[in-house]
Amino acid sequence: MKLLMHTCCAPCSVYCIDKLREEGIEPTLYWYNPNIHPYMEYKARRDTLKQYSEMINIKAIFEEEYGLKEFCKNVINDLENRCSNYCYRVRLEQTAKYAKENGYDAITTTLFVSPYQKHDVIKEMLKEIAEKYELEFVYRDFREGFRQGQNKARELGLYMQKYCGCVFSEENSNYDHIISDKKSQIHENKITEQKIRLNWEVPNLELRPYKNGNKEQIEFIYDLKKEVYQKYVEEIYGEWNEEIQKKLFDKFMKENSKNIELIYIKDELVRILQWKRNR
Protein backbone atom coordinates (compact mmCIF):
# COMPACT_ATOMS: atom_id res chain seq x y z
CA MET A 1 0.00 0.00 0.00
CA LYS A 2 1.30 3.45 -0.88
CA LEU A 3 -0.14 5.60 1.87
CA LEU A 4 -0.14 9.39 2.05
CA MET A 5 -0.80 10.67 5.56
CA HIS A 6 -1.95 14.24 6.01
CA THR A 7 0.18 15.43 8.93
CA CYS A 8 -0.89 18.32 11.09
CA CYS A 9 2.25 18.50 13.26
CA ALA A 10 5.18 16.47 14.55
CA PRO A 11 3.86 15.63 18.04
CA CYS A 12 0.61 14.24 16.60
CA SER A 13 2.50 12.25 14.01
CA VAL A 14 4.59 10.36 16.56
CA TYR A 15 2.06 7.74 17.59
CA CYS A 16 0.46 7.47 14.12
CA ILE A 17 3.79 6.68 12.49
CA ASP A 18 4.83 4.23 15.23
CA LYS A 19 1.50 2.42 14.97
CA LEU A 20 1.51 2.18 11.19
CA ARG A 21 5.13 1.05 11.14
CA GLU A 22 4.25 -1.64 13.67
CA GLU A 23 1.69 -2.86 11.16
CA GLY A 24 4.31 -2.87 8.42
CA ILE A 25 2.93 0.23 6.69
CA GLU A 26 5.37 3.01 5.76
CA PRO A 27 3.38 6.22 5.27
CA THR A 28 4.59 9.32 3.45
CA LEU A 29 3.88 12.43 5.48
CA TYR A 30 2.05 15.27 3.77
CA TRP A 31 2.23 18.73 5.33
CA TYR A 32 -0.56 20.99 4.17
CA ASN A 33 -1.90 23.21 6.94
CA PRO A 34 -2.93 26.70 5.84
CA ASN A 35 -4.94 26.87 9.06
CA ILE A 36 -1.91 27.54 11.27
CA HIS A 37 -1.33 31.17 12.24
CA PRO A 38 0.50 33.44 12.78
CA TYR A 39 3.45 32.80 10.49
CA MET A 40 6.08 32.19 13.19
CA GLU A 41 3.84 29.48 14.63
CA TYR A 42 3.34 27.96 11.18
CA LYS A 43 7.10 27.95 10.68
CA ALA A 44 7.82 26.46 14.10
CA ARG A 45 5.45 23.54 13.50
CA ARG A 46 6.60 22.96 9.94
CA ASP A 47 10.28 23.04 10.89
CA THR A 48 9.68 20.68 13.79
CA LEU A 49 8.09 18.19 11.43
CA LYS A 50 11.05 18.55 9.06
CA GLN A 51 13.42 17.91 11.90
CA TYR A 52 11.43 14.92 13.18
CA SER A 53 10.98 13.31 9.75
CA GLU A 54 14.74 13.48 9.21
CA MET A 55 15.36 12.10 12.67
CA ILE A 56 13.24 9.00 12.07
CA ASN A 57 14.07 8.73 8.39
CA ILE A 58 10.59 8.97 6.92
CA LYS A 59 9.60 10.61 3.63
CA ALA A 60 7.79 13.92 4.08
CA ILE A 61 6.33 16.27 1.50
CA PHE A 62 5.82 19.92 2.36
CA GLU A 63 3.07 21.73 0.50
CA GLU A 64 3.75 25.32 1.45
CA GLU A 65 0.78 27.57 1.93
CA TYR A 66 0.54 30.07 4.71
CA GLY A 67 -3.07 31.10 4.34
CA LEU A 68 -4.21 33.56 6.96
CA LYS A 69 -6.30 35.79 4.67
CA GLU A 70 -7.84 32.95 2.69
CA PHE A 71 -8.62 31.03 5.86
CA CYS A 72 -10.27 34.00 7.57
CA LYS A 73 -12.32 34.84 4.48
CA ASN A 74 -13.70 31.32 4.47
CA VAL A 75 -14.57 30.94 8.14
CA ILE A 76 -15.53 34.40 9.28
CA ASN A 77 -19.25 34.02 8.61
CA ASP A 78 -19.62 30.96 10.80
CA LEU A 79 -16.80 30.82 13.29
CA GLU A 80 -18.42 28.24 15.49
CA ASN A 81 -18.48 25.65 12.75
CA ARG A 82 -15.19 26.60 11.12
CA CYS A 83 -13.51 23.24 11.78
CA SER A 84 -16.17 21.10 10.11
CA ASN A 85 -17.25 23.55 7.45
CA TYR A 86 -13.87 24.54 6.13
CA CYS A 87 -10.69 23.68 7.97
CA TYR A 88 -10.79 19.88 7.84
CA ARG A 89 -12.07 19.74 4.29
CA VAL A 90 -9.57 22.09 2.71
CA ARG A 91 -6.67 20.10 4.14
CA LEU A 92 -8.01 16.63 3.50
CA GLU A 93 -9.20 17.40 0.00
CA GLN A 94 -5.78 18.76 -0.95
CA THR A 95 -4.18 15.61 0.49
CA ALA A 96 -6.42 13.43 -1.66
CA LYS A 97 -5.71 15.51 -4.74
CA TYR A 98 -1.97 15.24 -4.23
CA ALA A 99 -2.23 11.50 -3.55
CA LYS A 100 -4.19 10.92 -6.74
CA GLU A 101 -1.85 12.95 -8.91
CA ASN A 102 1.29 11.38 -7.49
CA GLY A 103 0.59 7.67 -7.53
CA TYR A 104 -0.53 7.05 -3.95
CA ASP A 105 -3.38 4.61 -3.48
CA ALA A 106 -4.46 5.34 0.09
CA ILE A 107 -4.88 8.30 2.45
CA THR A 108 -5.24 8.94 6.16
CA THR A 109 -4.61 11.78 8.62
CA THR A 110 -2.88 12.41 11.94
CA LEU A 111 -6.01 14.30 12.98
CA PHE A 112 -7.31 10.88 14.05
CA VAL A 113 -4.94 10.94 17.02
CA SER A 114 -6.35 13.99 18.72
CA PRO A 115 -9.12 13.71 21.31
CA TYR A 116 -9.61 17.45 20.81
CA GLN A 117 -10.80 17.19 17.22
CA LYS A 118 -14.23 16.19 15.93
CA HIS A 119 -13.19 12.65 15.26
CA ASP A 120 -16.41 11.33 13.72
CA VAL A 121 -16.78 14.33 11.45
CA ILE A 122 -13.24 13.86 10.16
CA LYS A 123 -13.81 10.13 9.69
CA GLU A 124 -16.92 10.60 7.59
CA MET A 125 -15.39 13.44 5.62
CA LEU A 126 -12.18 11.62 4.75
CA LYS A 127 -14.13 8.51 3.79
CA GLU A 128 -16.24 10.57 1.40
CA ILE A 129 -13.20 12.36 -0.05
CA ALA A 130 -11.31 9.09 -0.52
CA GLU A 131 -14.27 7.67 -2.44
CA LYS A 132 -14.44 10.74 -4.62
CA TYR A 133 -10.77 10.39 -5.57
CA GLU A 134 -10.96 6.58 -5.77
CA LEU A 135 -8.40 6.10 -3.02
CA GLU A 136 -8.36 3.63 -0.18
CA PHE A 137 -9.43 5.19 3.08
CA VAL A 138 -7.17 4.06 5.91
CA TYR A 139 -8.87 4.59 9.23
CA ARG A 140 -7.30 3.99 12.62
CA ASP A 141 -8.54 5.34 15.91
CA PHE A 142 -5.13 6.63 16.92
CA ARG A 143 -6.61 8.36 19.99
CA GLU A 144 -5.70 5.32 22.10
CA GLY A 145 -2.06 6.41 21.78
CA PHE A 146 -2.46 10.15 22.09
CA ARG A 147 -0.81 10.45 25.52
CA GLN A 148 1.91 7.99 24.62
CA GLY A 149 2.76 9.97 21.49
CA GLN A 150 2.72 13.32 23.28
CA ASN A 151 4.98 12.00 26.04
CA LYS A 152 7.44 10.65 23.52
CA ALA A 153 7.42 13.96 21.62
CA ARG A 154 8.15 15.80 24.86
CA GLU A 155 11.01 13.44 25.70
CA LEU A 156 12.47 14.02 22.25
CA GLY A 157 12.32 17.76 22.87
CA LEU A 158 9.99 18.48 19.94
CA TYR A 159 8.25 21.84 19.88
CA MET A 160 4.78 21.39 21.42
CA GLN A 161 2.14 23.88 20.36
CA LYS A 162 -0.32 25.38 22.80
CA TYR A 163 -3.36 25.71 20.59
CA CYS A 164 -4.99 23.97 17.68
CA GLY A 165 -3.86 26.22 14.84
CA CYS A 166 -6.00 29.16 13.78
CA VAL A 167 -6.04 32.57 15.44
CA PHE A 168 -9.50 31.82 16.79
CA SER A 169 -8.28 28.75 18.63
CA GLU A 170 -5.36 30.80 19.93
CA GLU A 171 -7.81 33.32 21.32
CA ASN A 172 -9.77 30.57 23.07
CA SER A 173 -6.68 29.13 24.67
CA ASN A 174 -5.75 32.54 26.09
CA TYR A 175 -9.22 33.51 27.16
CA ASP A 176 -8.47 33.43 30.88
CA HIS A 177 -5.68 35.96 30.47
CA ILE A 178 -7.83 38.24 28.35
CA ILE A 179 -10.57 38.11 30.94
CA SER A 180 -8.27 38.74 33.88
CA ASP A 181 -6.84 41.77 32.08
CA LYS A 182 -10.35 43.11 31.82
CA LYS A 183 -11.27 42.12 35.35
CA SER A 184 -10.20 45.43 36.85
CA GLN A 185 -12.90 47.15 34.82
CA ILE A 186 -15.59 44.81 36.07
CA HIS A 187 -17.39 45.47 39.29
CA GLU A 188 -20.97 44.97 38.36
CA ASN A 189 -21.99 41.60 39.70
CA LYS A 190 -25.58 41.95 38.71
CA ILE A 191 -27.08 38.57 38.11
CA THR A 192 -29.60 38.35 35.40
CA GLU A 193 -32.26 35.73 34.92
CA GLN A 194 -31.13 34.48 31.61
CA LYS A 195 -30.02 31.30 30.10
CA ILE A 196 -26.51 31.47 28.75
CA ARG A 197 -24.69 28.97 26.69
CA LEU A 198 -20.98 29.12 27.31
CA ASN A 199 -18.23 27.86 25.20
CA TRP A 200 -16.56 26.47 28.29
CA GLU A 201 -14.10 23.78 27.58
CA VAL A 202 -14.73 21.25 30.34
CA PRO A 203 -17.49 20.45 30.16
CA ASN A 204 -19.77 22.32 27.87
CA LEU A 205 -22.56 23.61 30.05
CA GLU A 206 -25.68 25.56 29.82
CA LEU A 207 -25.89 27.75 32.90
CA ARG A 208 -28.63 29.73 34.50
CA PRO A 209 -27.37 32.07 37.23
CA TYR A 210 -29.80 33.27 39.91
CA LYS A 211 -29.71 35.08 43.24
CA ASN A 212 -30.48 33.22 46.42
CA GLY A 213 -30.41 35.36 49.60
CA ASN A 214 -27.06 37.06 49.98
CA LYS A 215 -25.22 34.39 48.18
CA GLU A 216 -24.85 34.15 44.50
CA GLN A 217 -25.44 30.67 43.35
CA ILE A 218 -25.71 29.03 40.07
CA GLU A 219 -28.13 26.47 38.95
CA PHE A 220 -26.45 24.27 36.46
CA ILE A 221 -28.54 22.97 33.71
CA TYR A 222 -26.40 20.76 31.78
CA ASP A 223 -26.80 19.69 28.31
CA LEU A 224 -23.54 18.08 27.49
CA LYS A 225 -22.50 18.04 23.94
CA LYS A 226 -21.46 14.48 23.49
CA GLU A 227 -18.55 15.23 21.21
CA VAL A 228 -17.08 17.77 23.64
CA TYR A 229 -17.37 15.74 26.81
CA GLN A 230 -16.63 12.38 25.30
CA LYS A 231 -12.98 13.16 24.70
CA TYR A 232 -12.37 13.82 28.40
CA VAL A 233 -14.15 10.67 29.41
CA GLU A 234 -12.17 8.67 26.91
CA GLU A 235 -8.89 10.12 28.09
CA ILE A 236 -9.61 8.92 31.60
CA TYR A 237 -11.53 5.71 31.00
CA GLY A 238 -10.60 4.73 27.48
CA GLU A 239 -14.21 4.17 26.58
CA TRP A 240 -17.40 6.12 26.39
CA ASN A 241 -20.77 5.36 27.86
CA GLU A 242 -23.68 7.34 29.20
CA GLU A 243 -23.38 6.03 32.74
CA ILE A 244 -19.76 7.10 33.13
CA GLN A 245 -20.61 10.45 31.62
CA LYS A 246 -23.36 11.03 34.17
CA LYS A 247 -21.20 9.90 37.11
CA LEU A 248 -18.25 12.07 36.14
CA PHE A 249 -20.42 15.05 35.56
CA ASP A 250 -22.19 14.71 38.91
CA LYS A 251 -18.81 14.43 40.60
CA PHE A 252 -17.52 17.47 38.77
CA MET A 253 -20.53 19.53 39.77
CA LYS A 254 -20.40 18.43 43.41
CA GLU A 255 -16.78 19.46 43.68
CA ASN A 256 -17.04 22.71 41.83
CA SER A 257 -20.45 24.29 42.13
CA LYS A 258 -19.49 26.27 45.29
CA ASN A 259 -16.22 27.52 43.90
CA ILE A 260 -17.47 29.71 41.18
CA GLU A 261 -16.92 33.32 40.31
CA LEU A 262 -19.07 35.13 37.81
CA ILE A 263 -17.39 37.58 35.50
CA TYR A 264 -19.48 40.21 33.83
CA ILE A 265 -18.69 42.74 31.18
CA LYS A 266 -21.47 45.27 31.34
CA ASP A 267 -24.54 43.10 31.90
CA GLU A 268 -23.31 40.16 30.02
CA LEU A 269 -22.00 37.15 31.86
CA VAL A 270 -18.90 36.32 29.93
CA ARG A 271 -17.05 33.85 32.01
CA ILE A 272 -17.44 31.45 34.89
CA LEU A 273 -14.21 31.05 36.79
CA GLN A 274 -13.48 28.35 39.30
CA TRP A 275 -11.99 29.51 42.57
CA LYS A 276 -8.96 27.79 43.85
CA ARG A 277 -9.69 25.34 46.65
CA ASN A 278 -7.90 27.34 49.33
CA ARG A 279 -9.46 30.66 48.49
- DSSP lists the bridge partners of residue 219 as 208
Select 73 or 190, whichever has its Cβ closest to ligand SF4: 73
Q: Name the minimum Å distance from CB 32 to ligand SF4.
A: 13
Please choose, out of 20-28, 144-152, 163-171, 177-185, the segment that lies near ligand SF4 by the rule CB under 6 A: 163-171
3-state helix, strand, coil in the chain (%, to 5): 50, 15, 35
- Amino acid letter at 243? E
Q: Name the minimum Å distance from CB 92 to ligand SF4.
A: 11
For ligand SF4, the binding residues in 69-98 under the rule CB under 6 A are 82-83, 87
Select 156 or 167, whichever has its Cβ closest to ligand SF4: 167
DSSP E strands, 16-175: 28-31, 60-62, 106-109, 136-137
Rule CB under 6 A: say whether 29 interacts with ligand SF4.
no
Rule CB under 6 A: say whether 169 interacts with ligand SF4.
yes
| Interaction pattern, residues 32-71, with ligand SF4; x per rule: CB under 6 A | ---x------------------------------------
Contact status, residue 119 vs residue 112, Cβ threshold 8 Å: yes
d(CA 64, CA 71): 14
Select 90 or 107, whichever has its Cβ closest to ligand SF4: 90
d(CA 260, CA 273): 6
Q: Name the minimum Å distance from CB 201 to ligand SF4.
A: 12
- DSSP lists the bridge partners of residue 60 as 29
Other CB atoms within 10 Å distance of the CB of residue 234? 18
Please choose, out of 21-29, 129-137, 141-149, 164-172, the segment that lies near ligand SF4 by the rule CB under 6 A: 164-172
Counting residues that bind ligand SF4 (by CB under 6 A) gives: 9
Select 18 or 93, whichever has its Cβ closest to ligand SF4: 93
DSSP E strands, 105-257: 106-109, 136-137, 196-197, 206-212, 215-221
DSSP state of 83: I
H or E stretch at 255: helix 242-256
- Strand 106-109 versus strand 3-6 pairing type: parallel
Please choose, out of 124-132, 160-168, 228-236, 269-277, the segment that lies near ligand SF4 by the rule CB under 6 A: 160-168
Select 104 or 229, whichever has its Cβ closest to ligand SF4: 229
Rule CB under 6 A: say whether 166 interacts with ligand SF4.
yes
Binding site for ligand SF4 (CB under 6 A): 35, 82-83, 87, 164-166, 168-169
